[in-house]
Structure 1
Amino acid sequence: MSTTQRRLRPVPLAALAVACSSVFGAQVNPDLAAQARRDGRADALIVLQEQATPALAPLPRGAADYKARRRALVQALRERADSQQAGLRAWLQARGVEYQPFWIANVIHARLSADDVAALAARPDVSRLEPNPAIPVALPGPGSLPQGAVSPEGVETVAWGVAKINAPQVWAAGFNGQGVTIAGEDTGYKWDHPALKPQYRGWDGATADHNYHWHDAIHSPNGSCPANSPQPCDDHGHGTHTAGTFAGDDHDTHQVGVAPGAKWIGCRNMNAGAGTPATYIECMEWMLAPTNLKGKNPNPDLAPDIVSNSWGCTVGEGCTVGDEIKQAVNHLTKGGIFFVAAAANDGPACSTITAPPAIYSSAFVIGATDSADKLASFSSRGPVAGVSKIKPDVSAPGVAVNSAWPPATYANLNGTSMATPHVAGAAALLMSAVPELKGRPNAVAKLLRKTAQTDGVTDPVNQTCGGTSPTDWPNNMVGHGRIDAFAAYKAAIAGMVDLTIDH
């Protein structure tokens, strides 16, 4: 056999991936390569070389408001994706490959054959090829309470958690979230639930228009929801429950929401409780610039002020795509959106906040307390590897939380998932009272941390995490304390935060 013949001998895909990694700089995840060989095609993320936030052109004189900054950011991100992805999109199209481009992170989602993977590994514009696995999320559902927890007796007009954080005192001052939009990324929403319908931004009191108010990132049907549902649909119940806590009010016996005067919008990022890196990125992209139901005409001016996130992209289940989800979160916050994230339910051990998005510095991370202000045993603790900030940031009611449940009922649930929308609602109250806080997530975060209550707030495990003990404030168990919406409101109207810290 000649030397030339030996050079042309077929090379196994795994070996080709290694070779391409060293010659061209592209890396192929071995799990993706194996799946493509085994199944014929594999769900993949094609990660381009450039991931840093693009430099923004100076804003015109007089246009330094947060919406102008957001428009400039979205334009820069879209222009970068259109420019840097153009050749790759054309290549995929020519090969008949199904693909979905993103701009909030410089990534393309595609269904790739083994030959596609090998060819892409040789492209100089590709940094990495990663799998896009379906990641089951451990979502709380109706069931028994944790040991020692006490369930509220009967139905309360104002849910106990809402009262605990002193939201009704802010309402009495004239601010219940009016003029603010809260968004959720979750299992979907039963939009016409009695506690949610009046506050849905797509409902005008007579007719519904779901354009710019709802997006479905799930493109295949299941037993509860169609693919690309044209109206909000919840295939689990978890999303409906969280939305009830941030904005729910049936104007009768169930005042379950912290900010019942706010409007809400939503995106389904999980299919029956399982999301993928691509569905998470897709919802975050839509949040930064909502579109119509056809996914067209993105409008960053219709982005929410706050996004509530009670999900996790668990590394142990395959969420190993690097910084793509982190960049999406960072770009939401750079766009002036307050990004609230559940710490997870893997306590009581230390260092149990381990999954995106809660591990990111730009996320405002929430632990769970009960009606006696004790940290829930299940609430995940810090510290977070590679993050110098105390995590969680704060804690909020997350045990026996009563809120909306499909189709038109109510349920008590436990979890940091339940604590997180309390904080989203509290942020809406602050923005309602001081509209200048809109577009300034760092200022809102500072107010909530600064005014969190520590008196009587305990970690019954009495542990020390990351060098912080229960007598240290803040600490890596409870954060800065349990939020107090009224204390934060008083600090906000007194001007006790620098409104330039987000510029």
Structure 2
Amino acid sequence: MNRKYITIIIIILMLPLAGLRAQLSGMESALEEAFQKSKIVEYVVVFKERADFSKSLPLKTKNEKAAFVYHSLVEKATFSQREVLTYLALKNIPHQSFYITNAIKVTSSVEDALWIMNRPEVAWLFYNNAIKMLDYIEEKEIVQSRDVEPEWGIKMIKADSVWAMGYSGEGVVIGGQDTGYAWDVNPLKIKYRGYIDSSDVNHNYSWHDAIHKNSPNFPDSLLNPCGYSILTPCDDQNHGTHTMGTMVGEDLENKIGVAPNAKWIGCRNMDRGWGSPSTYMECFEWLLAPYDLSGENADPSKAPHVINNSWYCSEQEGCSLSNFYLMNEIVNNLKASGIVVVVSAGNSGRECSTITGPPAIFENSFTIGATTDADTIARYSSRGLVTIDSSFRMKPNVSAPGSRVKSVIANGEFANFSGTSMAGPHVAGLVALMISANPELAGKVDEIEEMIESTADKKTWEQDCNDVSGSSFPNAVFGWGRVNALEAVKRALAFSSNVSIADANASLQVFPNPTSDEITLYFKGENEVFYSLLIRNVAGQKIVENNNFNNDKISVVYLSNFPKGMYYYEVRSESGKTYTGKITKI
């Protein structure tokens, strides 16, 4: 053993707390105090090398973004962590490496912590403290009678009107991290990505459990009812199942989910409502690039389009200004990979600046307040502006139904919960509706969020916060307003980076696009006329074909008899040029 570190340990054990902090300037104060109380402590090592995706990536598709971010993060972590990982392996010290943020979770003595802390590549160490999920209100009655009418929140945001247009989440994957999920309850079972049929379920890439031991907040005699490191989805507290029901839940008698034809995957990040920085990091990492049940073969192409987060971390529970940036970095990395990160605002409402904990406070978190069935703000919904980090950032982004939301719970029964935990899932479901309506939006996080904000129903409140009027838009109570799924999906249908020729000088002009009836294709150049026109639907079937032109520069196509959705045109001119693009029928 290195004698220098033996000497340091002896000195530390003789010092009062103030002296200990002087010796351990590279440690968070909570970790210093933990080492005063225990010989072996669990903590997180943060490395100096950080990834930076703040500049727009020259990548178009979600899969391209996801692969680039994943490989960049892994490469950086592998290089910078190698010496510390070698040390930990040689000494058989329990540890877990992360790349979603460049860090390692370690369980060791203060001597080993000192060795790590003094490495030149290490930034600092912080305590892996327990974190509590958002509180919520559970209505005590268990709902017995059901009907096939959509729940009030679905109607309020007009998601049922989007279903009538033919969009209900098809082709979209929603991710969640929570208390776990009861995958086999009726409204969720066939929506689970791992479900193949009644006799075949594959949990690889669709489920991960980040709870590997009993939370320190529970006595050893009170073990988790689901167990630990489990290979099959389980919910130890109903919260996760309830949120997923609001996102995708549906069966013959219950319409509780905003996007009932979306698929879902999930990660358990809390032990009966208590997690830690490392459990959240582990779930975020799995959601960035899901891996199989053995923890191998990560695949960023299997990542969800949107993640719901109905939890927060307060200063009292281990998150502080000194370590906020790690969770912020994780959210930034997920957004760079093309994932929308939906976060509940918190339930500390009424007063201004009550959005105080990560990840709700971050710029790239899409933060959601809660509304009631009277379409007013819920009394508990946390308000902005964000002042805890002195940013005075405008939050929430938008609001959504959160009071007395009816959904399924872990035993298959139904219950009403209230909280911003219930509001966030409405917005995650809305994201799924938008991408199912226009798959080209997948991975385009800024565009999706802007559409949701700009189409929200404007709401005001007689409460000014930090000189921001409650009658302005956005405001610190509702954000940009209460979400409107119908208008957001209409905007989604109108979006395309290649709906028509983008160049204003291009010969072929296509308008109006999107359209509800007819579309006009026009050659504005003097030398171009039509030779042929072909329009196909998304299945590749021809719906319009015209080879009978007579030096025509204009062609009008009537689409009133065709379903709403995306169509693809191919035009050939007499000069032999080919023009292609998309038409959106709304």
Q: TM-score, normalised by structure 2?
A: 0.77
Q: Partner residue of 1:131? A: 127
The residue type paired with residue 265 of structure 2 is I
Question: 2:9·2:111 contact (CA, 8 Å) conserved in 1?
Answer: no
CA–CA distance in structure 2, aligned partners of residues 71 and 393 of structure 1: 28
Q: Does 1:30 align with 2:29?
A: yes
CA–CA distance in structure 2, aligned partners of residues 152 and 270 of structure 1: 26
**Aligned to 2:372, which of 370, 373, 377?**
370
Q: Which of structures 1 and 2 has the larger relative contact order (alpha carbons within 8 angstroms, sep 6+)?
A: 1
Question: 1:143·1:413 contact (CA, 8 Å) conserved in 2?
Answer: yes
How far off its partner does 1:283 sit? 0.5
Q: Deviations over 1:256-286 (max 9, x none)?
A: 0000010000001111100100001110000
Q: Partner residue of 2:552? A: none
Describe how 1:127-276 pairs up with structure 2 within 5 A.
127-143=123-139, 155-157=146-148, 158-206=150-198, 207-220=200-213, 222-250=223-251, 252-276=252-276
Question: 2:406·2:416 contact (CA, 8 Å) conserved in 1?
Answer: yes
Percent identity over the alignment is 39
Q: Deviations over 1:389-409 (max 9, x none)?
A: 421000000000000111111
Describe how 1:457-496 pairs up with structure 2 within 5 A.
457-459=459-461, 462-495=462-495
CA–CA distance in structure 1, aligned partners of residues 493 and 402 of structure 2: 28
**Aligned to 1:437, which of 430, 438, 441?**
441
Structure whose alpha-carbon radius of gyration is higher: 2
Question: 1:54·1:76 contact (CA, 8 Å) conserved in 2?
Answer: no
Gaps of 5+ in 1: 22-26, 146-150
Determine helix, strand or coil for the equivalent of 1:280. Answer: helix
How far off its partner does 1:381 sit? 0.2
Question: 1:430·1:492 contact (CA, 8 Å) conserved in 2?
Answer: yes
Q: Deviations over 1:230-262 (max 9, x none)?
A: 011100000000000010002x22110000010
Distance 1:20 1:346, change over 3 A: closer
Q: Partner residue of 1:49? A: 48
Q: Deviations over 1:10-58 (max 9, x none)?
A: 422664653463xxxxx11232123224221111001111224279999
Determine helix, strand or coil for the equivalent of 1:403. Answer: strand
How far off its partner does 1:495 sit? 2.9
Distance 1:111 1:469, change over 3 A: same
Gaps of 5+ in 2: 215-222, 503-586
CA–CA distance in structure 1, aligned partners of residues 224 and 480 of structure 2: 42
Q: TM-score, normalised by structure 1?
A: 0.90
CA–CA distance in structure 2, aligned partners of residues 431 and 310 of structure 1: 22
Q: Deviations over 1:158-205 (max 9, x none)?
A: 111011100011111110000000011111000001110010000012
CA–CA distance in structure 2, aligned partners of residues 178 and 90 of structure 1: 46
CA–CA distance in structure 2, aligned partners of residues 474 and 55 of structure 1: 24
Distance 1:8 1:244, change over 3 A: closer
Q: Does 1:92 align with 2:88?
A: yes
Determine helix, strand or coil for the equivalent of 1:199. Answer: coil
Question: 1:141·1:238 contact (CA, 8 Å) conserved in 2?
Answer: no
Q: Deviations over 1:43-76 (max 9, x none)?
A: 10011112242799997xxx74221121011111
Determine helix, strand or coil for the equivalent of 2:46. Answer: strand
Determine helix, strand or coil for the equivalent of 1:11. Answer: helix
Q: Partner residue of 1:148? A: none
Q: Does 1:411 align with 2:415?
A: yes
How far off its partner does 1:210 sit? 0.4
CA–CA distance in structure 1, aligned partners of residues 54 and 260 of structure 2: 38
Determine helix, strand or coil for the equivalent of 1:28. Answer: coil
Once the two structures are overlaid, the 10-residue window that deviates more, 201-210 or 63-72, is 63-72
Question: 2:51·2:73 contact (CA, 8 Å) conserved in 1?
Answer: no
**Aligned to 1:395, which of 392, 399, 410?**
399
How far off its partner does 1:137 sit? 2.5
Question: 1:36·1:112 contact (CA, 8 Å) conserved in 2?
Answer: no
How far off its partner does 1:95 sit? 1.9
The residue type paired with residue 107 of structure 2 is R
Question: 2:53·2:336 contact (CA, 8 Å) conserved in 1?
Answer: no
Question: 1:104·1:281 contact (CA, 8 Å) conserved in 2?
Answer: yes
Decide which structure has greater strand share: 2
Determine helix, strand or coil for the equivalent of 2:66. Answer: helix
Question: 1:366·1:416 contact (CA, 8 Å) conserved in 2?
Answer: yes
The residue type paired with residue 352 of structure 2 is C
The residue type paired with residue 421 of structure 1 is P
Determine helix, strand or coil for the equivalent of 1:85. Answer: helix
The residue type paired with residue 333 of structure 1 is K
Q: Deviations over 1:124-181 (max 9, x none)?
A: 1211110001122243252369xxxxx9996342111011100011111110000000
Q: Partner residue of 1:354? A: 356
CA–CA distance in structure 1, aligned partners of residues 364 and 55 of structure 2: 19
How far off its partner does 1:225 sit? 1.1
Question: 1:160·1:371 contact (CA, 8 Å) conserved in 2?
Answer: yes
Determine helix, strand or coil for the equivalent of 1:43. Answer: strand
Distance 1:164 1:99, change over 3 A: same
CA–CA distance in structure 2, aligned partners of residues 165 and 153 of structure 1: 25
Determine helix, strand or coil for the equivalent of 1:360. Answer: coil
CA–CA distance in structure 2, aligned partners of residues 163 and 210 of structure 1: 33
The residue type paired with residue 201 of structure 2 is A
Q: Partner residue of 2:325? A: 323
How far off its partner does 1:497 sit? 9.2
The residue type paired with residue 362 of structure 2 is Y
Question: 1:361·1:387 contact (CA, 8 Å) conserved in 2?
Answer: no
CA–CA distance in structure 2, aligned partners of residues 343 and 35 of structure 1: 30
Once the two structures are overlaid, the 10-residue window that deviates more, 166-175 or 380-389, is 380-389
Q: Does 1:451 align with 2:450?
A: no
The residue type paired with residue 486 of structure 1 is L
